[in-house]
Amino acid sequence: MPSGWGQVDDAVSLRAIQAGLEAGITFFDTADVYGAGHSERIVGQALKGRRDDVVIATKWGNLFDEQSRQITGADPSPAYVAKACEASLRRLGTDYIDLYQWHLGGAALETVPRVLDALETLVARGKVRSYAWSTDDPARARAFAVGPHCRAVQHGLNVLDDAPEMVALCEELGLASINRSPLAMGLLSGKYTSTSRLPDSDIRGKTPAWMKYFDNGVPSPKWLQRLAAVREVLQSDGRTLAQGALAWLWARSPNTIPIPGFKTAEQVTENAGALARGALSPEQLQEVERLLGRV
């Protein structure tokens, strides 16, 4: 299976990360499988000399071929954790990972105790400072949270697609709710319409099993309809649509940490601009819920 989001220019990516640093962004999320290792190399290059100023989160669990940039399988075994960690450390050019996240969201619960033991060994060796599971299943997240250095859950969450059970779990256990797809794979950027068509080189054009917002590269009518319902509220107070989507997440819970994807410095600057305007007001949050029929 291909592992990429279309054509990217390394120089553009480096400038985008630099723009994030200049805007005060300190949390950077990646994974070993993104770009089949290439994303970690770029993140490491961009953050060289700034390591103490940032929090780096990456993930493990998938197997891939760096040369062909293909995902070749998965390895949920506890034995693979240390091997994958060492490879990520080399690509990132660092000697520790702030947040190490299991990327296999549906891995069997019976493997959790041994995976946690492997992670705690990495913590004891100074390779990892904390860990999390990237999963949309609250039962799995709760099982992982028994680990002494489990600090977060990465899960899908955006204004169009709430995850109330997972958010409640994070608040109950004091975990960071790291929000995957905060802009609905770009749908909440506002640049896609019913006539948009993504190229096959973009993974959203291939419709993998986990892709819900696009259907073979075309925005899903269901999600476009939901977006139309709340667009005006999200764009209130001078926000762009993307900024309003991020503002909803901050209003949703004090535990949320959105991780919007980006390709350019301009996108990073727009996303970071949401910080200055802060969260939606309680009244705006309630109006969004009413418009989406969630109250």
Q: The whole model's pTM is what?
A: 0.92
Tell me: do 205 and 291 sit in the same domain.
yes
How far is residue 260 CA from its own chain's centroid? 7
Structural contact between residues 130 and 151, judged by C-beta atoms closer than 8 angstroms: yes
* DSSP-assigned beta bridge partners for residue 161: 158
Could you tell me if 129 and 235 lie in one domain? no
Q: What is the pLDDT along the chain (295 residues), one digit of tens a residue?
A: 445 545 678 999 999 999 999 999 999 999 999 999 999 999 999 999 999 999 999 999 999 998 888 899 999 999 999 999 999 999 999 999 999 999 999 999 999 999 999 999 999 999 999 999 999 999 999 999 999 999 999 999 999 999 999 999 999 999 999 999 999 989 999 888 777 777 766 666 565 666 788 887 788 889 999 999 999 999 999 999 999 999 999 999 999 999 999 889 999 999 999 999 999 999 999 999 999 999 8
192 is known as an active-site residue:
no
Q: Show the domain range for 270.
A: 184-295
Check which CATH number belongs to the domain holding 95 and give it.
3.20.20.100
Tokens (6 digits) for 189: 């950027």
Q: Which of 136, 156, 176 is the last residue of a domain?
A: 156
- In a shared domain, residues 113 and 4: yes
Residue 101 inside a domain? The answer is yes
The active-site residue out of 34, 100, 192, 213 is: 34
Q: Assess whether 149 and 3 both reside in one domain.
A: yes
Q: Are residues 24 and 149 in the same domain?
A: yes
189, 288: one domain: yes
Is 12 domain-assigned? Answer: yes
Number of domains in the chain: 2
Instruction: Confirm if 89 and 46 have CB atoms less than 8 A apart.
Output: no
